[in-house]
Amino acid sequence: MKILVDKSAPFTHAPTSVQKTMATVLLALVPATLFNATLFGWPAVFMFLITLGSCLGAEAICLSWSNKPVLPTLFDGSAALTGWLLAMSLPPWAPWWIGVLGAVFAIFLAKQVFGGLGQNPFNPAMVGRVALLISFPVQMTAFIAPRPLFSSTAPGFIESLGITFAGRVDFDSISAASALGYVKTELSRGIPVSQSVPHLPDLMDIALGMHPGSFGETSALLILAGGLFLLARRVISWHIPTAVIGTLFVMGALFNAINPDRFTGGVFQVISGATFLGAFFIATDYVTSPVSKRGQLVYGCGIGLMTWIIRSFAGYPEGMAFAVLLMNALTPLIDHHIRPRPFGRTRKGEPLPLARGEK
C-alpha cells in the first residue's frame, strides 16, 4: 500500500478557513445593517444592494480577466465584505453611480491591481470611500435625518427608485448635517463648541443611531454589539479597537478639558461618526493591519490620534477613513520593527544571557 507523503506535519487542522472568518464578520454587521435599512428606508436599501453587487461584479470581472477561477474566489467572502463596508460608509441616499464608482475604486484600484486578496496595502473599502469623498464632496456629504421605513416621512418604493436611480431628490431642502459636520460648520462660523453641541440630538440618540450620518455608522451601539461578537468569536483581538477608541477618548477628553470652546469631549468623539465602525470593522482588517499584538497597539493608537487630529484641525469633519489609510501605509514599517520577542532571545534578537552563578 502506498500512501501520500507529499507534505510534512501537522496532519490535523483547526476548523478555520478564510470563508468562515469573512462570514463571521458579515454576520456581525447584519444587526446594524438591518436597523439602518429600516431607519433610512428604500433608497438606503437600494444603495446598499448596488454597492455590494457592484463589488462582487467588479471582483468577478477582474478574476476572469486575470484567468483566475471566478466562483471559488468570489465566495471567499472578501469582495462581499469590502462592498458591505463601503456601503456602510456611504450616505444612505447616495445615487446609484456613487455605489458603482466606489466599487470600481475599491476592487479594481485598491485590491485587484495589487494581486487580489491578501496583497493590497490599503483597505479597499476606505480607498473607495476616500476616492469618492474627494471626487464628489457634495454627494458624499448629503446626509439626511432618519426617515424610518413605512413612517409618514419615508418615501415609497417607487419614489425611492426615483431617488436612487434618477436623482429625483432635492437635497437642499431635506439634507441635514452629521453631528461632527454640524460642530465643524458652527466652529467655522465662530460659534464655540460649547454652544453648538447642545443643539445636537443628545448622546443617547446618537449612540442609538437616531441622527443623520453615513448608512452604517449612525447606530453606534449595534456596531459595538457586532464588534463585541467578533471579539467573543476571536475573529479580532482587543488590541486595535481598544487602542483606537482609547486614544480618541483620551485626546478628546484632554483637549476638551483644556479648551472646551474649541474641542469636543471624549465621549462625543467616541460615540459620533464612524468611531465604532472604524475601530472594530475597518482598522481590524487583517490584510492591512500589523500582525503582532504590540504592532497592533501602535497602529490603533496611530489611527485614534490621526482621526482626532483630522476631526479637530482639518477641513473634513470625519477623519477615520484617512487615518486608516495613513496607518495602512505604515503597517509594513510597523511589522518590520515591532516583532514579538523570540523564545530564549532578547528583543534585539541576541540569546538571553545565562543567569549569574551558572555556566
Partner 1 sequence: MLLAVGSLTVMGAALGTVLGVAARFFAVEGNPLEAEILSLLPGSQCGQCGFVGCGQAAAALARGDAKVTLCPPGGKAVAEKLAKKVGVRVDLSEAEDRGPMVAYINEDLCIGCLRCMQECSTDAIVGAPKQMHTVVSEVCHACAKCFKICPTEAVEMRPIAVTISSWHWQKPGALQAPPQVH
Partner 2 sequence: MKLFPIRGGIHPDYRKELTSEKPIVALPLPRLLYLPVQQHMGAPANITVQPGDQVKKGQVLAKGQGAVSAPIHAPTSGRIAEIANITAPHPSGLPQNTIILEPDGKDEWGDLPEPLADPFAATPQQIKDRVAGAGIVGMGGAAFPSAVKLGLGGSHKLEILLLNGAECEPYLTCDDRVMREYADQVVDGARIMAHALGTPRIVIAIERNKPQSLELIKKAAAAFANIDVADVPVQYPMGAERHLTQAVTGRETPARKLTADIGVVVHNVATARAVHQAVRFGRPLISRIVTVSGNAVREPKNIEVPLGTKVAELIDFCGGLAETPRRIISGGPMMGQPLPDLDVPVVKGTSGILALTAGEVNERPVQPCIRCGSCVSICPCGLVPVEMAAVIRHENMDAAVAWGVMDCVSCGSCSYICPSHIPLAQYFNYAKGRLNEQDRERRKRDLVKRLVEERAARLEKAAKAKREAAAARAAAQAAQAATAEANRVNP
Q: Assess 67 for contact with partner 2 (CB under 8 A).
A: no
Q: Assess 356 for contact with partner 1 (CB under 8 A).
A: no
Q: Which of 152, 158, 173, 358 binds partner 2 (CB under 8 A)?
A: 358
Q: Which of 51, 54, 78, 178 binds partner 2 (CB under 8 A)?
A: 78
Tracing cell 482621526 back to the chain, one arrives at 307
Nearest to 158 by CA among 33, 22, 307, 42: 42
Q: Assess 345 for contact with partner 2 (CB under 8 A).
A: yes
Q: At 146, give phi and psi (nearest 5°).
A: -60, 135
Q: Assess 20 for contact with partner 1 (CB under 8 A).
A: no
User: Which of partner 2, partner 1, none has residue 290 at its interface (CB below 5 to 8 Å by kind)?
Assistant: partner 2
Q: Assess 287 for contact with partner 1 (CB under 8 A).
A: no
Nearest to 117 by CA among 67, 172, 78: 78
Q: Assess 291 for contact with partner 2 (CB under 8 A).
A: yes
Q: Assess 238 for contact with partner 2 (CB under 8 A).
A: no
Q: Assess 119 for contact with partner 2 (CB under 8 A).
A: yes
By CB under 8 A, the residues from 54 to 73 that bind partner 1 are 68-73
d(CA 149, CA 41): 5
Q: Which is nearer to partner 2, 315 or 349 (CB)?
A: 349
Give the cell for residue 349. Answer: 534578537
Q: Which is nearer to partner 1, 8 or 12 (CB)?
A: 8
Q: Assess 76 for contact with partner 2 (CB under 8 A).
A: yes
| In the complex, minimum distance from the CB of residue 55 to partner 1, in angstroms, rounded to a whole number | 20
Q: Which is nearer to partner 1, 24 or 73 (CB)?
A: 73
Q: Which alpha helices (DSSP H) does 144-238 contain, by range?
A: 157-161, 171-174, 179-188, 193-196, 203-208, 220-232
**89 within 8 A of 274, measured Cβ to Cβ:** yes
Write the DSSP symbol of residue 341. Answer: P
Cβ atoms < 10 Å from Cβ of 314: 13
Q: Which of 1, 3, 8, 344 binds partner 1 (CB under 8 A)?
A: 8
Q: How many residues are recorded in the chain?
A: 359
**123 within 8 A of 282, measured Cβ to Cβ:** yes
Write the DSSP symbol of residue 120. Answer: -
**294 within 8 A of 337, measured Cβ to Cβ:** no
Q: Which of 65, 150, 313, 343 binds partner 2 (CB under 8 A)?
A: 343
| In the complex, minimum distance from the CB of residue 76 to partner 1, in angstroms, rounded to a whole number | 9
Alpha carbons within 13 angstroms on the beta-carbon side of residue 35 total 21
**Cα 137–chain centre separation:** 19
| In the complex, minimum distance from the CB of residue 316 to partner 2, in angstroms, rounded to a whole number | 28
Q: Which of 2, 7, 13, 359 binds partner 1 (CB under 8 A)?
A: 7
Chain residues binding partner 1 by CB under 8 A are 7-8, 68-73
Residues in contact with partner 2 by CB under 8 A are 1-5, 7-18, 20-21, 76, 78, 116-119, 237, 286-293, 296, 335, 339-345, 349, 351-355, 358-359
